[in-house]
């Protein structure tokens, strides 16, 4: 189940060798790093929204500012949700780490 959620939550998958070894500390760290990377993507998209919203920004004739901004908001939502899921998986692996003597 964790692998299925991970595959849908993140754009990359954790290293297979960590999974095969049940390396919960390593997987927790990997998911924490993935969450941070995804939060960085959210920030990038927010910066793009700010740039597109500037009165001086002129999009190509094929699109409007509002289409570009809406497109960014779709990605912001996706990346934020994926980051939250990665953080949840990191916590689950931290709990597994503590449960295994």
Distances in Å between the alpha carbon of 60 and those of 66, 67, 74? Answer: 12, 11, 20
Exposure string for 65-80, b = 16+ CB within 10 A, e = fewer: eeebbeebeebbeebe
Residues 53-64: tens digit of each pLDDT: 999 999 989 999
- CB burial of 30-43 (b: ≥16 within 10 Å; e: otherwise) equals bbbebbebbbebbe
Extract the tokens encoding 96.
């597994």
CB 10 within 8 A of CB 86: yes
Structural domain boundaries of the chain?
Answer: 23-99
Per-residue pLDDT band at 51 (split at 50, 70, 90): very high
> What pTM value is reported for the model?
0.80
pLDDT-derived band at 101, boundaries 50, 70, 90? low
């Amino acid at each position: 189940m964790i692998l299925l959620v991970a595959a849908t939550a993140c754009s990359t998958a954790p290293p297979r060798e960590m999974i095969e070894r049940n390396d919960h500390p390593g997987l927790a760290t990997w998911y924490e790093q993935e969450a941070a990377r995804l939060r960085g993507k959210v920030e990038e998209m927010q910066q793009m929204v700010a740039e597109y919203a500037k009165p001086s920004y002129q999009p190509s004739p094929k699109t409007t500012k509002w289409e570009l901004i809406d497109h960014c908001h779709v990605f912001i939502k996706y990346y934020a949700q994926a980051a939250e899921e990665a953080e949840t998986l990191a916590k689950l692996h931290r709990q597994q780490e503590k449960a295994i003597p």
